[in-house]
Chains A and B, each alone.
Chain A
Amino acid sequence: MKRIKRITSIVTLIVVLFTMALSFTSCSKEEKVTLNVYNWGEYIDESVIKEFEQRYGIKVNYETYATNEEMYTKVKSGGTAYDIVIPSDYMVAKMIREGLLEKLDFSNIPNYKYIDPKFKNRDFDPNNEYTVPYMWGTVGIAYNKKMVTDPVDSWNILWNEKYKGQILMLDSQREAIGLTLKKLGYSLNTTDKNALEKAKQELIKQKPLVLAYAVDEIKDKMIANEAALAVDWAGNAVCMKRQNPDIEFAIPKEGSNLFIDCMVIPKTSKHKKEAEMFINFMCETAIAKKNVEYIGYSTPHTEVYKLLDEKIKNDKTIYPDEETLNRCEIYKDLSDYLSEYDRIWTEVKASN
């Protein structure tokens, strides 16, 4: 019996200490705000965060994710009170629909005026109440000039027998099925069963030619000359080009996907004002320039674009011309229809 008493007292002591520690930290929190920023991996120049912390005396707790869905699951479950997240277009639409996002007070974000109007008021946020565009880009074909002799201007080259065992596909159902739909002349947001069935047949036909379906490894494999052709995002292609001068990038003539990643504030945020300060800071010309030069994706910031190196500005990989962009589509949130895409992707992968 005595033992039990002792254990109970120890447990009580621990509980008391814990609550004390908790109340202590919440006290100190009132003096110094901590912002929880949740972003894609390798998608910020971390020195920019340091500058923000120094200038405003706000601590930033920085975490990263690999997919929109991973971020969505965490924000929705509400485990951490994130103040800033950076979802892509279709995910923004989904989060707005589910009431997960806070409307922004644009009077706290004066630098919003620098954002190019062509990225504002898009379908995912028609009246632009929730989002500030962060970066944008396209999906296309990265190829090795020494290994590919044909002109790369169409998705059809990914079905060319000549490159059997040298093609890397993105292991991501929206991208893989989307580009096939584009190749067949459909919208990449289609919910037409017929179109999807045709896309499935095409992908099954392509399977013997594919070396691997991958996401993160594509960059390394292309740099190491392990494959001739790869489907990838433009920003990654920029990275490949820096490290292997034989790599080129093309956006096929049938059109492709255009994505816009936006800074948003989830409803869970406890420091909305500070979060808006952070967004405004990220849109400051000098900061945004430093950031985009580090990441290598395309900036929606008009002033930054003007200041960029001529070489980068004229690089069609990062800043494709208006005409090419018009052929690109933004993903729509397919909600429950997504399971149909997953089924097709499973069928492609399960085929022999």
Chain B
Amino acid sequence: MKRQAYSIPYLTWMTIFAVLPLFLVLFYAFTTKQGSFTLDNLIRFFDPLYLNVLVRSINLALVSTLICLILGYPMAYIISKANIKARNTLILFFIIPMWMNFLLRTYAWMTILERNGIINKFLSLFGIKPLSLLYTNGAVILGMVYNFLPFMVLPIYTVLIKIDKSLIEASYDLGANKLTTFIKVVFPLSLPGVISGITMVFMPSVTTFAISRLLGGGQFTLIGNLIERQFINVGDWNFGSAISIVMMAIILISIAIMNKFDKDKEGVNLW
């Protein structure tokens, strides 16, 4: 009884700001402009043109998630091995840039990468001709990795520091060397962190539209740009909602697959 009373504000909040909008999106996705039921919006998305856009978005997101993992895991490992004082300082260094606005940080990269930017100015000191760094696939991936890396490092780090030290000691006592211990004990135990890290990086990467527009120079449409244009330029809310539904389905499926790996339901699981 008591519990129910306390949950009323949260339930109201969730209904107004999460459930209701979701139903609106669903409604728009399955209706025509006149409001009658249709599947055309969804069918229209399965045109090779739009599927191409989807494949490209997923590819870019996968590449940046992989880079985040390769960079982020060792980083989290190193930080977790440091003593407490150094550990907190290092984590703080990771979090401080996130206090700044995300767009501001992305704009900063534009001035670093551009033709008369800092990198090219530096290279010109050695007589190297200006490189085109901005407005490439590489710049987009760099932007994603830079912006989303903390989302990979933090969950892995949280899991790593919680691992029971006696398990590692037991592994050494039983004759395993450092590498075997890592592969057989530490890494499997840190998997929940890795999985939430992957989901937390993959999701914003696959739906971003700001990074691809600013650092990619709008060279290609990603799924986020496509949805944005349906709502803002074309005014086709029905098609825009249908694409959003497809995206939601993809994300839900990938989370389900991820959770299969994470049998123990331990660690910092978001869901």
A residues with a Cβ closer than 8 A to B are 1, 3-4, 7, 67, 69-70, 72-73, 165, 171-173, 207, 210-214, 217, 221, 224-226, 338-339, 342-343, 345-347, 349-350
Residues of chain A within 8 A of B221, CB atoms compared = 346, 349-350
**Other contacts beyond A210-B219, A212-B219, A350-B53: 11, CB < 8 A:** A3-B2, A4-B1, A72-B235, A173-B233, A225-B116, A342-B234, A342-B236, A346-B49, A346-B221, A346-B226, A350-B220
Chain B residue with the shortest CB-CB distance to A72 = B235
B121 contacts which chain A residues (CB < 8 A)? Answer: none
A210–B218 alpha-carbon span in the complex (Å)? 10
- Closest chain-A Cβ to B213's Cβ sits at a distance in Å of 7
Structural contact, B135 and A69, CB atoms closer than 8 A: no
With a CB–CB cut-off of 8 A, which chain B residues contact A349? 218-221, 225
Q: How far is the CB of B214 from chain A (nearest CB, A)?
A: 8
Secondary structure at the B interface, as helix, strand, loop or mixed, is helix
11 contacts between A and B (CB under 8 A): A7-B5, A211-B132, A214-B213, A339-B234, A339-B236, A342-B229, A342-B230, A345-B229, A346-B53, A346-B221, A349-B220
Residue of A nearest to B135 (CB): A212
Across the interface, B116 reaches (CB within 8 A) one of A3, A70, A211, A224, namely: A224
Q: What is the CB-to-nearest-CB distance from A227 to chain B, in angstroms, rounded to a whole number?
A: 8
Which bucket holds chain B's interface residue count?
Answer: 20 to 34
Q: For B213, what are the chain A residues with a Cβ–Cβ distance below 8 Å?
A: 171, 214
Chain B nearest CB, measured from A346 CB (Å) = 6
Docked Cα-Cα span, A116 to B233, in Å, equals 31
Task: List B residues at the A interface (Cβ < 8 Å).
Answer: 1-2, 5, 49-50, 52-53, 56, 110, 114-116, 132, 134-135, 213-214, 217-221, 225-226, 229-236, 239
**Cβ–Cβ contact A69 & B235, under 8 A:** yes
Query: Which residues of the other chain, B, contact A7 by a CB distance below 8 angstroms?
Result: 5
- Find B218's partner among A214, A224, A342 (CB 8 Å cutoff): A214
Pairs A-B, 8 closest by C-beta atoms? A212-B217, A213-B218, A349-B221, A171-B218, A342-B234, A212-B135, A4-B5, A350-B52
Asked if A69 and B233 sit within 8 Å, CB to CB, the answer is yes
Give the A-B contact count at a CB cut-off of 8 A: 80
**Bound form: Cα–Cα A337–B231 in Å:** 15
Tell me whether A343 and B233 are in contact (CB under 8 A): no
In the assembled complex, the CB of B139 is this many whole angstroms from the nearest CB of chain A, namely: 10
Of the candidates B5, B134, B232, B233, the one having the most CB atoms from chain A within 10 angstroms of its own CB is: B233
In the complex, what's the smallest C-beta–C-beta distance from A92 to chain B, in angstroms? 16
* Contact A165 B233, beta carbon cutoff 8 Å: no
- Judge whether A211 and B217 touch: CB under 8 Å: yes
Contact B5 A338 (CB under 8 A): no
Q: In the assembled complex, which residues on chain A have CB atoms less than 8 Å from the CB atom of B134?
A: 212
Q: Chain B contacts of A70 at CB under 8 A?
A: 232
In chain A, what residue has the closest Cβ to B233?
A69
A165 contacts which chain B residues (CB < 8 A)? 132
A261, chain B: closest CB distance, angstroms: 18
Cα(A4)–Cα(B116), bound, Å: 65
- Name the B residues within 8 Å of A224 (CB-CB): 114, 116
B residues less than 8 Å from A69 (CB atoms): 232-233, 235
CB-CB < 8 A to B110: which residues of A? 217
**A351 shortest CB reach to chain B, Å:** 9
User: With a CB–CB cut-off of 8 A, which chain B residues contact A3?
Assistant: 2, 5
Distance between B230 CB and nearest chain A CB, rounded to angstroms: 8
**B231 / chain A contacts, CB cutoff of 8 Å:** 73
Please tell me if the beta carbons of B50 and A346 are within 8 angstroms of each other in the complex.
yes
> Residues of A contacting B234 with CB < 8 Å?
338-339, 342
CB closest residue in chain A, given B239 = A339
Identify which of A67, A214, A226 contacts B114 (C-beta below 8 A).
Answer: A226
Residues of B within 8 A of A345 (CB): 229
What are the residues of chain B within 8 A of A171 when measuring CB–CB? 213, 218
Contacts of A217 in B (CB 8 A): 110, 214
